[in-house]
Structure 1
Amino acid sequence: MTLPARLFATLIALVAVAGLVLQFVTYRIGHPGADAFETVWSLARYFTILTNTLVAATFTLMTVRGRMPGPLWMGGLTLWIAIVGAVYYALLANAVSGLDAVADRLVHLATPLLTVAFWLFYAPKHGLRLASAASWLLWPLLYVGYALLRGELDGFYPYFFVDPTRIGWDGVLRWSALLGVSFAAAGGLQVGIARLLR
């Protein structure tokens, strides 16, 4: 990695970690009876938190080792965190203030934008094709299965589009298909951009 790329990776790692820490803090403030394990377990329901964790881990390792993962992982990670921001602001955003607002901006806006910028300017893009975009669907599909299983076990579904008690199983299937198509289209667009930039 070049020095500018490594410095940029360090910035993203710090922002992603700060967002996760603030999410932990704000959850504890809102749930004073929860201990550290309960807080982490509750936050781990959310695609936002899990994907930000992937970003934080990836960019921390890049900072420490000075090496970048391959184009398939970097492309997928960028797509997933970009969708975090897009879905949040399109479907889920609520008016929040104070520390909650700072935490929300970090995990839903700052980290996605910085990661996309890093991918555009520094990430390897060789060898990406439509099959790559198809493989990037694996993480969101795994998440949907995980969210539904946890919801069945504890009765709490993190998002309305994976909540059969609110929209029925047919609604969950429709929303999953819609989001899957959106992921696939965004991934295909990303592959096209990679070829142009390459």
Structure 2
Amino acid sequence: MEDARALRMDAATLRTLTGLLHLAGAAVCAVALTHRLFWGLSSQTIAGQNFFAYLTIQSNVAFAIVWTVAGVAALRDRLDHPRITAAQAVVLSWTATAGIVFAFLVWQAGERAIRIDVPWSDQVLHFWLPALAVLDWLFTPGRGRAPRRVVPIVLAYPLLWGGFTMWRGSLIGWYPYYFLDLRQVSGPPEFLMTSGAALSIFAAVSASLVWARRRHVGAPPEHAGRLSLGRATGRLRRRRRG
């Protein structure tokens, strides 16, 4: 009995720490987004009306919201709701992929002799928070398996965002990323190759996160509950026979 109580207390403590971690991560994300906005305005690298046009900014706004909700849920409940788990998988896929693509863009800018400044807020949004979120995704307790429908949801967003961005760019003559501007690439083949590579990364990251969580958790909670009930019933029958 005492061992069971100790385990419950340990689980409750871990859930509390998980909730605080999520709320702290959401706060850091909000601070980094604010710094990135004012840094961009002061350095004249962005216009105010274009700040939220970046996929990275949009995905990190979603990250801050979802982690706030997940943090409050972890402080209140022993287990995450399946929708919270799915939402975390989606936003983590977006932010992790944005970090990978950003690293590629910085490398390509160097190859093209194009200067890209990377302030601390960009480093937090593109690298540190996604890395923390991956560790949280793999190891924190109280989270179930991620549904496979996460993958098409993850892919739907960059497709819709890309279509709208291309349309908006044709009107205002500005694009958040160079490979979306046909004037800055060698032609449609490079555009298709780069865009296809980005979508492939989105698919690979989301599929890997879903697979890792499903492998880590094993049987779904409801299935595990049926197994436990079946075992308990079997034990009761054996006791009666004895």
TM-score, structure 1 normalization: 0.83
Q: Which amino acid aligns with 1:164?
A: L
Partners of 2:70 and 2:84 within 8 A in 1: no
1:109 matched to 2:127: yes
Unaligned 5+ segments in structure 2 are 1-11, 108-114, 218-242
Work out which structure has the larger RCO, using CA pairs closer than 8 Å and 6 or more positions apart in sequence: 1
Q: Count matched residues.
A: 189
Q: Mean alpha-carbon deviation: is it higher for 134-143 or for 58-67?
A: 58-67
Q: Which amino acid aligns with 2:27?
A: L
Matches for 1:175-194 after TM superposition, within 5 Å:
175-194=194-213
Unaligned 5+ segments in structure 1 are none
**2:98 pairs with one of 68, 84, 87:** 84
1:48 matched to 2:56: yes
Which residue of 2 is the match for residue 70 of structure 1? 84
Which whole-Å CA distance do the structure 1 matches of 2:203 and 2:33 have between them?
Answer: 27
Which whole-Å CA distance do the structure 2 matches of 1:161 and 1:124 have between them?
Answer: 37
1:124: how far off? 2.8
1:196 matched to 2:215: yes
Which residue of 2 is the match for residue 31 of structure 1? 44
Partners of 1:133 and 1:187 within 8 A in 2: yes
1:12 matched to 2:12: no
1:59 matched to 2:77: no
Partners of 1:15 and 1:110 within 8 A in 2: no
Larger Rg: 2
Partners of 1:162 and 1:172 within 8 A in 2: yes
1:60: how far off? 2.5
Query: In structure 2, do the counterparts of structure 1 residues 70 and 63 end up closer, same or farther at CA, with 3 Å as the change threshold?
Result: closer
Which residue of 1 is the match for residue 169 of structure 2? 151
Which whole-Å CA distance do the structure 1 matches of 2:144 and 2:106 have between them?
Answer: 31
What is the aligned-residue RMSD (CA, Å)?
2.5
Which whole-Å CA distance do the structure 1 matches of 2:159 and 2:93 have between them?
Answer: 14
Q: Which amino acid aligns with 1:55?
A: F
1:9: how far off? 0.5
- Overall identity of the aligned pairs, in %: 25
TM-score, structure 2 normalization: 0.69
Partners of 2:25 and 2:67 within 8 A in 1: yes
Partners of 2:145 and 2:210 within 8 A in 1: no
Could you give the per-residue CA deviations for residues 58-116 of structure 1, whole angstroms, max 9, x where no partner exists?
Answer: 222334555654322211111111111111112336663xxx52122121112211222
Q: Mean alpha-carbon deviation: is it higher for 19-28 or for 110-119?
A: 110-119
Q: Which amino acid aligns with 1:128?
A: P
